[in-house]
Each structure stands twice: as C-alpha cells, then as structure tokens.
Amino acid sequence: MVLLLRRMTPIIGNIIYNANPPSLLASSRCYKKMGKRQMTDDGGEVPKGKKGKLAPPPMSPKELWEAMTLPEELEGSMEFKPVSSNKEGIPWNLKIVSWNVNGIRAVIKKNKLGYFKSEDADIICLQETKCDDGDLPPETSFYGYHRYVNCATKKGYSGTAIYSKVEPLSIVNGIGVAEHDDAGRAITAEYETFYLVNTYVPNSGKKVVNLPYRREWNTALLSYIQGLDEKKPVILTGDLNVAHNEIDLKNDKTNHKNAGFTDEEREDFGKILDAGFVDSFRHLYPEQEAYTFWTFMMNARGKNVGWRLDYFVVSQRLMGAVCDSLVREKVMGSDHCPVMLLMAEGSGTKEEGNGVAVDKVEGAVDKVDKVEEDQENVKQSENLTISDSEDEAGDVKQGEDVKEDEGVKKPVETVPEPVVEA
C-alpha cells in the first residue's frame, strides 16, 4: 500500500496542477512535482527558504503595494482626505508625511506599513530606518514612488529616506559637513518651488553627554537651511529631538535637565525660528497639547505621557500656502507617530526683497494702485459715494476683489495670484 501511494504521488500532483491555474497554486504555495525536486512552471528549481521550506514566488512592487491593508486600529478612525484650505480658501493639493519608524523592518513585522498606502501622501519622509539601501525589504519599494535613501556607515543605525511621487530636481545626502554626514541623518530633495530637508537630529543622550556634539549639529543644520533658503523656500521636517516649549511635553517640570528639553537645545531651536522659519503646527494650534513620541516604558502611550519631537518647520514666506499641520497619533508601529503637512501649492508663496516680504507676481503693486486710481476717477466723474465698508478696504490686499457701487458697470478687477508649479 505504501509503495502504491509513492508511485501515485507524481500523478496526483499533476492532476492537482492541471486542475488549478498557476496563480492559484502560487498563492497557496503549491508547486508542480517532478521527481524529488520542486519545479516552477518555466522549468526552474524553486528556491528553498529557512528550514527547508519552499519560498513563495517573489511579488512585484505593484503586487506588494496592492496587498497592503490598513491596520485594524485605523479602520474608521482616521480621515485620510481631510477638508482643509489656506487663508485664501484654496484647498490643499500637496500632502507630505514624516515618520520616525524606529526601524523599517520592525514596522513591516508589525504589519503597520499599510498606513502609507491609505494615507496616499505625495511625499513620505522616514527617519531612523536602520537599514542599508541594499538590505531594504521588498515591501519598502512603495509602488508609484521614487525612493531615495541615506544610510549610516554603521549598519542598523540611524538612516533617512524620502519617497516622492514626483521625481525631485536633485537629491543631496547630508548637510555638507563631513563629521556630521556619516550617520545618514539628513537627506534633501529639491523641487521647483521649495527644498525639502528630512532629518533625524542626534539625541543628546543619557545625562546629556552628547550635548556638545548636538549643539555643533544644530549650528551646522541652521547654516545649511539658511543657505538653501537664500535660493528658495525650505520645508524642514523629521525627528528634531527637542520639545521647544513646556506645552510640548507632558512632564515639563521634571525634564529641564534631560535630553530633548535642556535650555541649550530649546535655545538652538529658537534660533531656527528667529532666522525666519515657522513651527507650522504650533503656529496653527498655539494652545493644543499634542505629542509625537512616547517611550515604550511604563505604558507611556496608553497614558499619553509624551513629547512633541517631530516637526514641519517652514520658511516664513511659505506659510501662506500651508493649509494644515497634523499629528497622526493613532498610527502605531513605532515609539513615534507620523506628522503631516497639507499645502495649497501655488498660492500664498512670498519671497524676500530688501528685507521686506513682497509678492512674487511682478507688477502686483502697480495693479493695485491702478485699481484704486480707477475707483477715485469713477467716484469723481459720476458723483458716486462708496460705502464706509468699502472705503475702509482702500488698502487692497493681493487677491481681493475691488468692489464698487452697483451703479458702476466697470468690471471687477482682481490681482492675479502667484503661480507655483509642482
């Protein structure tokens, strides 16, 4: 009986194979039997995995991306297409997400990578990937994105990455200082209208033993982004490893001498803001307590005993395009949660001129003056009286319509908005 079953095994295998399409067999990890060797459909030998088990057929980046699912805890609890607009009422058209993943392979093992598919950001910035470019798992290919990675020379340490649907004009690793650039802590993507700097700032360490080096890094980073800002606006994002004000951490009174909340670190962050940059979240939500980091110890996340260490800091002249700056505190998988920036790219962008912010549209001021002059001419020639509310609006802001009495048939003129291409 045993001998008969052995002889029938190849026959049974062929029957199963012929009765099922290859795709079904592959999905169930079944393969055609040919003697004692496992063979693929094209005649190649199936590679073996650990402990002699058959390895599943490799999936393409598209298949891996489509197979990702939203983590259960996020189902129905998060709005992935929030309604938001800038002060001019223009809805957002650019979404940037930043997340310190504390090891990209750990996020994969926890089945949390599907968050990125559902978020559908235009640009994704990761910190502390802890993985060399050549060792990145296939799940990190992110179908539909261009991937750029800056790895540390030390394996399994630090590391930053940028994923972008639109190919950047250029990519630069580091901040231009050799002693700071061997840990993969910064990567910059240049786009048509801004620079995006993704960074993982060094921690000052226990008993702040690394504080002197940390301050050197802070100085170098500020110099770097100031140099970029002279060319075009800058978006600085990532784990900046500092809680700027007391509102940015739960236990501020007991942490004044601990890494991330020392006077020196907070002072250095203040220098960034003094140099013409804005903490977008705190600007929009000056009184809101929100955290982006919780230690794994003592159920800190469950108790919401955290720190706000992750930021989107933008050039002052770019704030007009900012629609919202959000904290995705419900996303699990790391000791940090993602932060997100929504922008209406193509609006509200200003650039500095002789120390004064001026609109990018050439001749905008002349157009405003002409509108005011036309108002005065119409008023005098037709003896019309403009209402008090309209008179108070004499200082026409860019983009605002110039309203006149109904009796005037002169068309309403508007100052064109600056156009910023993606």
Which one-letter amino acid corresponds to residue 218? N
d(CA 44, CA 210): 54
| Active site annotation includes 239 | yes
- Yes or no: say if 31 and 38 are a contact pair by the CB < 8 Å rule: yes
| Active site annotation includes 388 | no
Phi, then psi, of 364 in degrees rounded to 5: -60, -40
d(CA 196, CA 351): 17
How distant, in Å, are the alpha carbons of 33, 98, 189, 199, 311 from that of 239?
Answer: 52, 9, 17, 7, 7
* CA torsion, ordered 395, 399, 402, 403, to nearest 10 deg: -120
* CA torsion, ordered 395, 401, 404, 409, to nearest 10 deg: 140
- Torsion 314-315-319-321 (CA) sign: negative
Q: Which of 31, 115, 145, 200 is catalytic?
A: 200
The residues, ordered by sequence, that sit 6+ positions from 36 with a Cβ below 8 Å of its Cβ are none
CA 93 to chain centre: 14
The tokens for 122 are 């235009």
Q: Spell out the SS3 assignment of 380-414.
A: HHCCCCCCHHHHHCCCCCCCCCCCCCCCCCCCCCC
The tokens for 54 are 């058959």
Which helix (H) or strand (E) segment holds residue 354: the answer is none
Q: Which of 31, 145, 239, 311 is catalytic?
A: 239
d(CA 198, CA 318): 17
How would you list the strands of the sheet with 310-315, edge to edge? 170-173, 186-190, 195-200, 234-239, 310-315, 277-279
Catalytic residues: 200, 239
